[in-house]
Amino acid sequence: MDMISRRALIQAAAVTGVGVVASAAPARAMQPVDAKMAGGVYYTAAYPGRWSGKAASHAPRITVTPQADGAKAVEIVTEHKMHGYKHYIVKHVLLDANYGFLDETVFNPESDEAKSTHTLPPGYTGPVYALSMCNLHDVWLSAAQA
Angle at CA of residue 146, ends 58 and 12, nearest 5°: 65
Is residue 88 within 8 Å of residue 79, measured between CB atoms?
Answer: no
Higher pLDDT, 33 or 115: 115
Q: Place 1 in a pLDDT band, splitting at 50, 70 and 90.
A: very low
Q: What backbone torsions phi and psi does residue 15 show, to the nearest 5 degrees?
A: -70, -40
Compare 7 and 46 and report the one with higher pLDDT. 46
- Rounded to whole angstroms, the Cα distance separating 63 from 145 reads 9
Task: Describe the chain by its helix, strand, coil percentages, rounded to 5.
Answer: 10, 35, 55
- In the DSSP assignment, the letter for residue 50 is G
pTM of the model: 0.76
pLDDT tens column, 131-144: 999 999 999 999 99
The CATH architecture of the domain made up of 6-145 is Sandwich (2.60)
